């Protein structure tokens, strides 16, 4: 687990470069909004992904989720850090769907770095992007009491 991971353990420069390279492969003929992502796993493997759009717009998958899926497909379950690159003046943060997927595989205190072609960057913690996230722990903590059971308890 990456609970003790600090910023210093991460080769951010390498991840920035990998995310930028991944962005070159982005398939974004509709939005022209190309995105690249790179992550490093807890065992220090680096994976990349880009956004892949579709003529059926709703099937578009973001760079972050493609990057994470690639890592998971190789057996990765814990991600230390993630970088998102866009060639946009404004740094682009992950969409809501990606934030939820990120929270599945990254600790709340893990960092996500956004970078652009101007060399600007900004870091967030996972918990900043998705506070009080619904995570695997949420299911473990579930009590599974039915509404009728709760009602009976309340009446007694």
- Note whether 62 binds Zn ion by CB under 5 A: yes
Residues 64, 104, 120, 152: which is the catalytic one? 64
Helices (H), the chain: 12-23, 63-73, 96-105, 126-129, 136-140, 147-155
Q: How far is the CB of 143 from Zn ion (least distance, A)?
A: 32
Residues near 150 by beta carbon (within 8 Å), at least 6 away in sequence = none
Give the per-residue contact string, 2-41, with Zn ion (x = CB under 5 A; - = no).
----------------------------------------
Residues near 130 by beta carbon (within 8 Å), at least 6 away in sequence = 99, 100, 102, 103
Q: Output 11 or 91, the one with its CB closest to Zn ion.
A: 91
Q: Output 10 or 63, the one with its CB closest to Zn ion.
A: 63
Give the separation between CA 123 and CA 90, rounded to whole angstroms: 14
Q: How far is the CB of 94 from Zn ion (least distance, A)?
A: 5
Q: How far is the CB of 37 from Zn ion (least distance, A)?
A: 9
Give the per-residue contact string, 84-103, with Zn ion (x = CB under 5 A; - = no).
-----------x--x-----
- Quick check: helix, strand or coil at residue 35? strand
The residue written with tokens 């918990």 in the block is 127
The question of whether 64 is a catalytic residue gets the answer yes
Return the range that interacts with Zn ion (CB under 5 A); candidates 35-43, 55-63, 114-122, 144-152. 55-63
Q: How far is the CB of 9 from Zn ion (least distance, A)?
A: 25
Give the separation between CA 49 and CA 66, rounded to whole angstroms: 5
Give the separation between CA 113 and CA 97, rounded to whole angstroms: 17
Residues tagged active-site: 64
Interaction site with Zn ion (CB under 5 A): 62, 95, 98
């Amino acid at each position: 687990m990456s609970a003790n991971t600090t910023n210093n353990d991460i080769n951010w420069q390498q991840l920035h470069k990998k995310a930028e390279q991944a962005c070159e492969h982005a398939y974004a003929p509709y939005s022209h909004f190309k995105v690249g992502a790179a992550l490093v796993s807890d065992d220090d493997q680096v994976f990349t992904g880009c956004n892949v759009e579709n003529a059926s717009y709703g099937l578009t998958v973001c760079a972050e989720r493609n990057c994470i899926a690639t890592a998971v497909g190789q057996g990765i379950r814990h991600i230390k850090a993630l970088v998102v690159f866009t060639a946009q003046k404004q740094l682009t943060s992950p969409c809501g769907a990606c934030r939820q997927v990120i929270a599945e595989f990254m600790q709340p205190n893990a960092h996500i770095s956004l970078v652009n072609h101007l060399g600007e960057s900004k870091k967030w913690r996972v918990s900043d992007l998705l506070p009080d996230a619904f995570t695997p722990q949420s299911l473990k903590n579930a009590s599974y009491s039915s509404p009728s059971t709760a009602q009976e308890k309340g009446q007694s």
